[in-house]
Structure 1
Amino acid sequence: MDKEQIFQYLAESWNKNMPFNQLLGFEITRFDDKQAEISFRWDDKLIGNPIQKILHGGVTAAVLDVAGGVVAAANVIANLDEITPESVQENIRKLGTIDLRTDFLRPGRGEHFVATAHIIRSGSKVAVARMELHNENGDHIAFGTGTYMVG
């Protein structure tokens, strides 16, 4: 398998096999070492403020974290000397969030949301990603910085 096939396989696998992401309706729509993208649609079960009918802050933080983790995983894979299912499995099993900062810019209103992430720095042990959440109108709802253990 080449790098793009691994990215495609993992995106499909994670979309189907991560119960928390399925519960929130998250779908990995882009997965490569340059940028990750997670999309989801509005659902009333995601309401954090019933009076204002806006996204719960935990949903916002969660989607930013997933996007950061996905791009960190892609970066690990892209830097492998040999890409095999075994080497990918061995290296991404170490992945975990060390720190997550979320800055809420405006209420989470919309019908469709997209979180994007890119790597700021990646080393042998730690990767740092920058994430953003927008709605279908391009309104910037939140941004975040995530630090991920990668080795």
Structure 2
Amino acid sequence: MPKMNTQTILTKVSEFMNTQVPFQALLGLEITEFNPARGEIRFKWQEQLMGNVPQRMLHGGVTATALDTAGGLVAIAGMVDRLESPTEAYLMERLSRCGTIDLRVDYLRPGRGTEFIASATIIRSGNKVAVARMELHNEEGTHIAFGTGTYLVG
């Protein structure tokens, strides 16, 4: 199998997640930035994402999912960045073992807007575990929620 460089890997993983992960597609999540320093996803308001109908607010589970996805991205990017030209098979094996260990979400304001942006930065990236800090804003920059996620990466 041919070996891949970090940027090729991040591009392939991003394309896969944007097109092949059913839950992400259902929510309309799209990866817009994916590197070891920062992960970002965006999604548009949809009626199906409403959690509080009278107030027309984003469901808290959607908020948590968006934050978790952004945190997972930056954690995975850090893991990929430490690999030295892995084969595609080895990369897929490593990715299959990645997952969320812990997620904390603090809801600051009602989730209202036409577009939502979840971003994440890495706090610590180790060989086995990574920790990320995430934020969710709407298109006007209103800070809706933040979180901390711990991810298994090795």
Asked whether the two chains share a fold, i.e. TM above 0.5, the reply is yes
CA distance in 1 between counterparts of 2:128 and 2:85 reads 18
- Aligned pair count reads 151
2:71 counterpart residue number: 68
| Alignment match of 1:138 (pick from 126, 135, 141) | 141
Residue 31 (str. 1) matches residue 34 (str. 2): yes
CA distance in 1 between counterparts of 2:12 and 2:32 reads 12
Q: TM-score, normalised by structure 2?
A: 0.95
Q: Give the counterpart letter for 2:75 in structure 1.
A: A
Residue 108 (str. 1) matches residue 91 (str. 2): no
Residue 48 (str. 1) matches residue 51 (str. 2): yes
| Alignment match of 1:16 (pick from 9, 14, 19) | 19
* 1:54-91 Cα shifts (integer Å, max 9, x gaps): 10000000000011111111110001123331232122
CA distance in 2 between counterparts of 1:5 and 1:59 reads 29
Q: Which runs of 4+ in 1 moved over 2 A?
A: 81-84
| Alignment match of 1:89 (pick from 92, 105, 128) | 92
1:94 Cα shift?
A: 1.2
CA distance in 2 between counterparts of 1:80 and 1:25 reads 30
Q: TM-score, normalised by structure 1?
A: 0.97
State the secondary structure of the residue aligned to 1:67. Answer: helix
Q: Give the counterpart letter for 2:95 in structure 1.
A: I
What RMSD over aligned residues (CA atoms) do the two structures have, in Å?
A: 0.9
Contact kept? 1:67, 1:117, Cα under 8 Å: yes
Any gaps of 5 or more consecutive residues in structure 2? none
Give the share of equivalent positions with the same residue, in percent.
56
Contact kept? 1:76, 1:92, Cα under 8 Å: no
